[in-house]
């Protein structure tokens, strides 16, 4: 048996080596490049370059837009999932699947298609004018980018919330009703707390990609709106300043780690 389990342990070896070489070492390389200058000497200049007005502006805009997109996703997804779970029909799990299917159309194309919809002479304005409403100017504005983020990441919010709501035992909800709770009380005291883990994981899954995107802003921002992701992407692919790019990536990592810490803290509090 002993010899057997040693052999079993060796089965994992290829993955351990793979993870060390392709996950752990690359992260250390970002840290190393971010904390050194071109001569290899230690410096904090790359990380502190986030204080430059242009970088700071991009970071703040990223935070504001990604928080906005996260809130909108939550407000759209939660009622949707409630309605889908409520009716308890087989057909509805099919509906949930249909909400995920758009991800099979290339996401760059889907985002790009919003250009045609939001343009000045685009479909949205043609529709608004036809029903007598004034044209909206959304393309190349922060609002347009929030719309793109919501569109791209909404399924990431829907899935965990739907799963959490679906797991709630109907008897628990009925018990709350029997004990005299009204609709609002049942929701705030029973349903919402039980769905909180799903909400938290939805928030995490939307916030990180929205905060760090450079694709949505370059497709729907007309090149005029720079997010922190655009700044980092340009440092690597245009300016070839790996040290500066890594330094700014470290700033992003701080936010990602904060996000993980906050969400696990919530998870613990729940248990």
Partner 1 sequence: MKSRARFLKKIYIGLIFIFMYAPIVLLIIQSFNKSKSRAKWGGFTLEWYRTLFEDAGIIQAFTTTITVALISSAVAVVLGTAACVAMQRMGRRRKNIIMGVTNIPMLNADIVTGVSLMLLFMSIGMQLGYGTVLLSHITFNIPYVILNVMPRFNELNPHVYEAALDLGANPVYAFARTVLPEIMPGIGSGALMAFTMSLDDFIITHFTTGAGVYTLSTKIYSEVKMGIKPEIYALSSMIFVTVLVLLVLVNRVQHQMVRGEGDEE
Candidates 39, 88, 121, 184; binder of partner 1 (CB under 8 A) is: 121
**By C-beta, is 87 or 171 nearer to partner 1?**
87
Candidates 41, 42, 104, 130; binder of partner 1 (CB under 8 A) is: 104
Q: Could you tell me the smallest distance in angstroms from the CB atom of residue 166 to partner 1?
A: 16
Q: Could you tell me the smallest distance in angstroms from the CB atom of residue 244 to partner 1?
A: 12
Q: Could you tell me the smallest distance in angstroms from the CB atom of residue 188 to partner 1?
A: 19
Candidates 45, 54, 116, 188; binder of partner 1 (CB under 8 A) is: 116
Find the binding residues for partner 1 in span 193-252 (CB under 8 A). 204, 208-209, 211-212, 214-215, 219, 229, 232-233, 236-237, 242, 245-246, 249, 252
Find the binding residues for partner 1 in span 18-37 (CB under 8 A). 18-19, 21-27, 29-30, 33
Find the binding residues for partner 1 in span 146-165 (CB under 8 A). 151, 154
- Work out whether 260 is an interface residue with partner 1 (CB under 8 A): yes
**By C-beta, is 199 or 235 nearer to partner 1?**
235
Q: Could you tell me the smallest distance in angstroms from the CB atom of residue 236 to partner 1?
A: 6
- Work out whether 105 is an interface residue with partner 1 (CB under 8 A): yes
Could you give the dihedral angle defined by the CA atoms of residues 160, 201, 64 and 62, in that order, rounded to the nearest 10 degrees?
-100
**By C-beta, is 3 or 179 nearer to partner 1?**
3
């Amino acid at each position: 048996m002993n010899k057997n389990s040693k052999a079993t342990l060796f089965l994992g070896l290829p993955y351990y080596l793979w993870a060390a070489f392709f996950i752990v070492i690359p992260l250390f390389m970002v840290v190393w490049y971010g904390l050194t200058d071109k001569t290899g000497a230690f410096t904090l200049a790359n990380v502190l370059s986030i204080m430059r007005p242009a970088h700071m502006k991009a970071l703040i805009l990223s935070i504001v837009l990604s928080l906005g997109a996260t809130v909108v996703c939550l407000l759209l997804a939660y009622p949707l999932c409630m309605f889908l779970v409520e009716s308890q029909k087989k057909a509805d799990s099919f509906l949930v699947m249909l909400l995920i299917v758009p991800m099979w159309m290339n996401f760059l194309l889907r985002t790009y298609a919003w250009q045609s919809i939001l343009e000045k002479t685009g479909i949205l304005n043609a529709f608004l004018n036809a029903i007598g409403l004034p044209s909206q100017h959304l393309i190349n504005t922060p609002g347009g980018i929030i719309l793109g983020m919501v569109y791209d990441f909404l399924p990431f919010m829907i899935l965990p919330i739907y799963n959490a709501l679906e797991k709630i035992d109907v008897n628990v909800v009925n018990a709350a009703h029997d004990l005299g709770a009204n609709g609002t009380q049942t929701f705030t005291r029973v349903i919402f707390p039980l769905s909180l883990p799903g909400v938290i994981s939805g928030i995490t899954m939307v916030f990180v990609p929205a905060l760090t995107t450079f694709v949505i802003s370059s497709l729907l921002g007309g090149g005029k709106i720079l997010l922190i992701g655009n700044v980092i992407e340009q440092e690597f692919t245009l300016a070839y300043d790996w040290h500066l790019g890594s330094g700014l990536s470290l700033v992003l990592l701080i936010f990602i780690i904060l996000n993980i810490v906050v969400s696990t803290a919530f998870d613990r509090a729940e248990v």
